[in-house]
């Protein structure tokens, strides 16, 4: 492993963005809770440590904290709450601001070194603030490096140790020179090497997989989506024919999904592939269940049951199961590995597995964000139409049907979704969209078709732009494209008389509806 940065999550909504900015600079980063012991942190051997922002006041009972000795383990950058925490521990004064400061602000650089190398003393720059408390007095041994127009400390550094802090969020795009500040910390302060590349990751992961697996057999649950396809290709590169891919037709897939997967994985990649038709099994298990969390768990458990049966039938005696779990899945499912960030949903690859499953797990992508997975896939030689596909959830269309999952609802949703994606591609918009899909709503609406009154189903359309799925904005379709999509769905899909478009961003909404 090359250079790496440890991010301690104090509860900020932007913690994942810090990890992204570090990785964009080609330095590996991981998010962990601030409760990690000093011994654990020393053994992890970070090249630098970043303390994230957070909603607490440093004087609150139970507020996130760190042992003061951590400031001597590696170079440290405190961001927002992280800055206030350093000031509090080191003897500075942190006070309530009287009112919350949120949004764009201008700060003046007073010390053009360290984080602000390349700036000029006296220069003003636009940053993004999000805080209630502020540092009134810098700690002994520290000097201010930036101030706001109201002479409030916006940055400081230790006089001799590599400890730096800023009151604003350098990781968000609204901070104009934020990437430069982050890179100054990584390369100027921590002296990291920019070695986090797809090729480097593949080499490391192949060695780990070979050491773990030895001569044993492995199976992979292949969906045909980006994550499972890249995971399968990576493991196949490592162990070849020791891998058997099992594609489960759950009955919850998109139109013609099974045929596409079989054609691509067998013909293009030469993998051993077993197809299991399990539609009835999944639909029976889901019958009458409308709760989204329970649906995810049912699907996850049924997957493992099917894998166990399929591997036994194939005589593989597989010891390991490959899953395409990504880092956002881990963060969202485990509350930032135990930190104070909120849990959003249970991903079936992480939170829904049976505790008595017989397989060991291989999750070769669990350290990666989505765009990193795509780049690894390209490095492995996968076709662009595969690595460029929009994300598709493991539970499939079951979580895009709000309420009971029935064959009737699935049939309507499949056809509507296929028309939607076909029109997006025809308009040349597919590469501009992070994820687009249709949702079957558990309501009916009144309509008029011909001379008759109808009372039929409603389809919601969702399309978002994003970098990694952690935050997302709704996609602004040209009105004529939305009009064509709506007309085709209503005219060509029996049972639908109304189409609506979701214009919610994440946050506050999630990308998926369930």
Each residue's pLDDT, cut to its tens digit, for the chain (514 residues) gives 689 999 999 988 888 889 989 999 999 999 999 999 999 999 999 999 999 988 888 888 889 999 999 999 999 999 999 999 999 999 998 887 555 566 788 899 999 999 999 999 999 998 988 767 888 899 999 999 999 877 889 999 999 999 999 999 998 888 899 999 999 999 999 999 999 999 999 999 999 999 999 999 998 888 778 898 999 999 999 999 899 888 889 999 999 888 888 887 777 677 888 899 999 999 999 999 888 899 999 998 998 888 778 877 665 578 888 988 888 777 655 443 344 443 333 333 434 445 555 778 899 999 898 889 999 999 998 888 888 889 888 899 999 999 999 999 999 999 999 999 999 999 999 999 999 999 999 998 888 776 677 889 999 999 999 877 778 999 999 999 999 999 999 999 999 999 999 999 998 999 999 8
Q: What is the rounded CA–CA span in Å between residue 490 and residue 57? A: 53
Pairing of strands 243-249, 28-32: unpaired
Q: Which SS3 state, helix, strand or coil, does residue 74 take?
A: coil
Nearest residue to 201 (alpha-carbon basis) of 192, 209, 191: 209
Pairing mode, strands 163-166 and 320-322: unpaired
CA distance 493 to 449: 13
Residues whose CB falls within 8 Å of the CB of residue 211, separated by 6 or more in sequence, listed in order: none
**Entry pTM:** 0.75
The whole-angstrom separation of Cα 127 and Cα 156 is 15
Q: How many CA atoms lie within 13 A of 173 on its CB side?
A: 4
Using CB atoms within 10 A of its CB, is residue 284 exposed (0-12), middle (13-18) or buried (19+)? Answer: exposed
Rounded to whole angstroms, the Cα distance separating 293 from 295 reads: 5
The Cα–Cα gap between 364 and 362 comes to 6
- From the candidates 134, 164, 171, 347, give the one annotated as an active-site residue: 171
What are the φ/ψ torsions at residue 464 (nearest 5 degrees)?
-135, 155
- Tell me the DSSP string of 97-111: EEEEEEEEEEEEES-
- DSSP for 474-494? E----HHHHHHHHHHHHHHST
- Any catalytic annotation for residue 192? no
pLDDT score at 384: 83
- CA angle 282-287-292, nearest 5°? 85
What does the block give as tokens for 452? Answer: 């008759």
475 contacts: CB under 8 Å, gap ≥ 6: 429, 432, 433, 436, 463, 464, 465
Tell me the β-bridge partners of 452.
449
Catalytic position from the list 80, 192, 220, 245: 80
What pLDDT score does 451 carry? Answer: 64
pLDDT of residue 352: 43
CB 451 within 8 A of CB 481: no
Q: Report the DSSP pairing between strands 435-449 and 153-158.
A: unpaired
Residues 2 and 200: beta-carbon distance below 8 Å: yes
Compute the 3-state secondary structure of the chain and give helix, strand, coil in percent, each to the nearest 5. Answer: 35, 25, 40
SS3 257: helix
| Residues 419, 464 contacting (CB under 8 angstroms) | no
The string over 472-482, giving b where at least 16 C-beta atoms fall within 10 Å of a residue's C-beta and e elsewhere, is bebbebeeeeb
Give 214-237 as a 3 state SS string.
CCCCEEEECCCCHHHHHHHHHHHH
Could you report how far apart the first and last alpha carbons of the chain are, in Å?
37
Q: How far apart are CA 374 and CA 367, in angstroms?
A: 13
Out of 169, 236, 347, 348, pick the active-site residue: 169
**What pLDDT, on the 0 to 100 scale, is given for residue 316?**
59
Query: Any alpha helices (H) in 50-164, and if so which ranges?
Result: 81-89
DSSP 180: H
Establish how many alpha carbons lie within 13 A of residue 182's alpha carbon, considering only the half-sphere containing its beta carbon: 30
Query: What would the two tokens of residue 250 be?
Result: 């759950």
CA–CA dist 192, 174 (Å, integer): 25
- Does residue 80 carry a catalytic annotation? yes
Is 171 in the active site?
yes
pLDDT at 405: 95
């Amino acid at each position: 492993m090359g250079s790496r940065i440890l991010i301690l999550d104090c509860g900020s909504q932007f913690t994942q963005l810090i990890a992204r900015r570090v990785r964009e600079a080609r330095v590996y980063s991981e998010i962990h809770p601030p409760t990690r012991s000093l011994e654990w942190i020393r053994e992890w051997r970070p090249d630098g440590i970043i303390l994230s922002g957070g909603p607490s006041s440093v004087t609150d009972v139970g507020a996130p904290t760190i042992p003061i000795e951590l400031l001597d383990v590696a170079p440290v950058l405190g961001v927002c709450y992280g800055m206030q925490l350093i000031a509090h521990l080191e003897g500075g004064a942190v006070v309530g601001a009287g009112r919350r400061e949120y949004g764009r602000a201008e700060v003046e650089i007073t010390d053009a070194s360290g984080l602000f190398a390349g700036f000029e003393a006296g220069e003003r720059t636009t940053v993004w603030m999000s805080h209630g408390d502020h540092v009134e007095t810098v700690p002994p041994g520290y000097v201010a490096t930036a101030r706001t127009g109201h002479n409030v400390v916006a940055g400081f550094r230790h006089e001799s140790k590599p400890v730096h802090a800023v009151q604003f969020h350098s990781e968000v795009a609204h901070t104009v020179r934020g990437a430069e500040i982050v890179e100054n910390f990584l390369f100027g302060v921590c002296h990291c090497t920019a070695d986090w590349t797809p090729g480097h990751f593949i080499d490391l992961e192949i060695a780990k997989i070979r050491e773990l697996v030895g001569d044993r057999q492995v199976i992979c649950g292949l969906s045909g989506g980006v994550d499972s396809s890249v995971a399968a290709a990576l493991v196949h590169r490592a162990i070849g024919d020791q891998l058997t891919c099992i594609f489960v037709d759950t009955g919850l897939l998109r139109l013609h999904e099974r045929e596409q997967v079989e054609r691509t994985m067998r013909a293009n990649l030469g993998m051993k592939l077993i197809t299991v038709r399990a539609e009835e099994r999944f639909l029976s298990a889901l019958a009458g269940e409308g709760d989204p969390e329970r649906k995810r768990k049912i699907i996850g458990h049924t997957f493992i049951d099917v894998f166990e049966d399929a591997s036994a039938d194939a005589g593989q005696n597989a010891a390991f199961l490959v899953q395409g779990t990504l880092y956002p899945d881990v963060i969202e499912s485990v509350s930032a590995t135990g930190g104070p960030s909120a849990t959003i949903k249970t991903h079936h690859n992480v939170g829904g597995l049976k505790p008595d499953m017989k397989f060991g797990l291989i999750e070769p992508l669990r350290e990666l964000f989505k765009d990193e997975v795509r780049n690894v896939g390209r490095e492995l030689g996968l076709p662009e139409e595969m690595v460029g596909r929009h994300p598709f959830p493991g539970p499939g269309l079951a979580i895009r049907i709000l309420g009971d999952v029935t064959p009737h609802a699935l049939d309507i949703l499949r056809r509507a979704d296929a028309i939607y994606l076909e029109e997006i591609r025809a308009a040349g918009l597919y590469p501009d969209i992070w994820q687009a899909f249709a949702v079957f709503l558990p309501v009916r609406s009144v309509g008029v078709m011909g001379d008759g009154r109808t009372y039929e189903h409603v389809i919601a359309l969702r399309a978002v732009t994003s970098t990694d799925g952690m935050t997302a904005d709704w996609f602004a379709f040209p009105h004529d494209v939305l009009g064509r999509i709506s007309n085709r769905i209503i005219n060509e899909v029996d049972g639908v008389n109304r189409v609506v478009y979701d214009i919610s961003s994440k946050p506050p909404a999630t990308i998926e509806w369930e």
